[in-house]
């Protein structure tokens, strides 16, 4: 799509946050929220995003590419073992 790896990663952060807010709205509308768990998970996600963003800014594509490959391989292995 013409984006650099760092730019594409930044776009995924925005899209991930948007989907999380939509999920929060949906669960709030249905009244099925465990607030303590949700706040803990939200804090963990915020903290992870801060650390990840700083790593992307400092390390760039040299960090992202290997991580994407490792995660894809890990998910592939898990899917193969689950079947």
Q: What is the CA radius of gyration of the chain?
A: 16
Per-residue CA distances from 5 to 20, 40, 52, 67 (Å): 22, 30, 14, 12
The per-residue pLDDT for 72 is: 95
**This prediction's pTM:** 0.60
Q: What share of the chain is helix, strand, coil (3-state, %, to 5)?
A: 90, 0, 10
Return the DSSP state at 3: -
What pLDDT score was predicted for residue 81? 95
Per-residue pLDDT of the chain (83 residues; tens, 9 = 90+): 787 877 887 788 888 889 988 988 888 889 888 888 888 988 998 898 888 888 888 887 788 889 889 999 999 999 999 97
């Amino acid at each position: 799509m013409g984006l650099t790896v760092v730019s594409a990663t930044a776009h995924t952060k925005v899209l991930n946050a948007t989907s999380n807010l939509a999920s929060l709205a949906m669960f709030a509308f249905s009244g099925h929220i465990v607030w303590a768990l949700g706040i803990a998970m939200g804090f963990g996600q915020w903290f992870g995003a801060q650390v990840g963003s700083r790593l992307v800014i400092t390390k760039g594509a040299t960090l992202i590419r290997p991580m994407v490959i490792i995660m894809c391989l890990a998910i592939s292995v898990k899917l193969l073992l689950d079947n």
